[in-house]
Amino acid sequence: MINGITLGSTYALIALGYTLIFGVLNIVNMAHGEIFMFGAFVGLILATHFDVGIFGALAGAMVAGAGLGYLMERLALRPLRRRQVSELAPLISTIGVSIFLESLALRLFGPQAQSFPPIYSTQLFEIGGLKISAVQILILAISFGLMLVLRFWLSKTRLGKSIRATAENIETANLLGVDTQKIIVLTVMLASALGGGAGVLVGLAFNAIEPTMGITMGFKGLAVLILGGLGNITGAMVGGLLLGVAEVLSVAYGVSSYRDAVAFGLIIVLLFLRPQGLFGSQEQQGGR
């Protein structure tokens, strides 16, 4: 369960990035997995070459993710919004960004898998009958800390309420004096920063990162987005934890090579029973 919750908390962070962008722009950002991957490599470079420590690497990865999010919004999404093109155009545009970022990463970092320095992984703590590593404690603390801060910020701050208002209805938010253009940019940067931070945490959890890791993790984040309910913050958090626990239990009590099949099979069954997701309403608008 500890392994599953640790893994699921990173999935939840990735899914939160999808959720924020979907809620405000009503599109699925297919480049989110590659931004996640770039964040992992930026964190690795900072930790190994500049010796900034894990928290410095995490902050650097989040800044890099936010920067990539800004460039994507400015160059790939904003021109399409101004022209009022088909709803599929932004999706195709983010797919193009995804392919470009993966190719760039292969060029810059090479195809080989790389690992974070084993700063915390050798330290083990025993709590009752459970053993938990220091790196797991670190991942859980950072993941849940970021989720709680995001939840509080969206609920209590002026900017957070502006994001929620824009997600509900962008025209009404404009009439109420919300600068929706700035809110969209802020949302994309925030979502991408979460993705970059999640890249570092996944790199710590698996002790291996590679340029193609964004594809698999991006699809898992997308699956969590659908499982929890489109645009639902709480659903993304709970759905990520459920997916992580399902994967680890399938390894513990089955065959490890089928971990993804079991996890996604459970998602398919749940969506048959509740197509709008665990926390989504019939109109898929609740809980933003």
48: helix, strand or coil = helix
Strand segments, DSSP code E, in the chain are 124-127, 130-133
| Alpha-carbon torsion (153, 157, 158, 161), positive or negative | positive
Residue 19: alpha-carbon gap to chain centroid? 9
Asked if the structure places residue 220 within a domain, the reply is no
* pLDDT above 70 for 211: yes
CB 14 within 8 A of CB 79: no
pLDDT grade, residue 286 (50/70/90)? very low
| Alpha-carbon torsion (245, 29, 87, 92), positive or negative | negative
pLDDT value of residue 53: 86
Mean pLDDT of 101-116: 93
Asked if the structure places residue 246 within a domain, the reply is no
In DSSP terms, 127 is beta-bridged to 130
Weakest-pLDDT range from 4-8, 186-190, 197-201, 263-267: 263-267
pLDDT value of residue 255: 67
pLDDT in tens, 40-92: 999 999 999 998 888 999 999 999 999 999 999 999 999 998 887 887 899 99
Asked if the structure places residue 200 within a domain, the reply is yes
Based on the number of CB atoms within 10 Å of its own CB, is 276 exposed (0-12), middle (13-18) or buried (19 or more)? middle
CB 98 within 8 A of CB 34: yes
pLDDT value of residue 14: 94
* Token pair in block for residue 77: 């999404």
pLDDT value of residue 196: 96
Provide the residue type at 227 as one letter: L
pLDDT more than 90, % of the chain: 59
Asked if the structure places residue 236 within a domain, the reply is no
pLDDT in tens, 219-237: 888 889 888 888 889 999 9
Give the chain's end-to-end CA distance (angstroms, integer): 28
pLDDT grade, residue 288 (50/70/90)? very low
Instruction: Give the chain's domain count.
Output: 1
| Alpha-carbon torsion (61, 62, 67, 70), positive or negative | positive
Asked if the structure places residue 196 within a domain, the reply is yes
Mean pLDDT of 162-178: 92
CB atoms within 10 A of CB 164: 17
Q: For residue 144, give the nearest of 263, 244, 277, 34 by alpha carbon.
A: 244
Mean pLDDT of 263-271: 81
Q: What residue numbers bound the domain in which 143 lies?
A: 2-213
What are the residues whose beta carbons fall under 8 Å from the beta carbon of 111, sequence distance 6 or more?
Answer: 210, 211, 212
Mean pLDDT of 151-161: 93
What gap in Å lies between CA 41 and CA 109, rounded to an integer?
Answer: 8
Q: Which helix (H) or strand (E) holds 165?
A: helix 158-168
Weakest-pLDDT range from 154-163, 196-205, 266-275: 266-275
Place of tokens 């929620």: 164
Q: For residue 20, give the nearest of 154, 152, 141, 149 by alpha carbon.
A: 154
CA dihedral 220, 223, 225, 230 (to 10 degrees): 160
Asked if the structure places residue 13 within a domain, the reply is yes
Asked if the structure places residue 142 within a domain, the reply is yes
Asked if the structure places residue 225 within a domain, the reply is no
pLDDT grade, residue 287 (50/70/90)? very low
What gap in Å lies between CA 148 and CA 49, rounded to an integer?
Answer: 31
Q: What does pLDDT average to over the chain? A: 89
pLDDT value of residue 285: 44
* Token pair in block for residue 33: 């997995």
What gap in Å lies between CA 154 and CA 257, rounded to an integer?
Answer: 39
DSSP letter, residue 278? S
pLDDT in tens, 268-281: 888 888 888 888 76
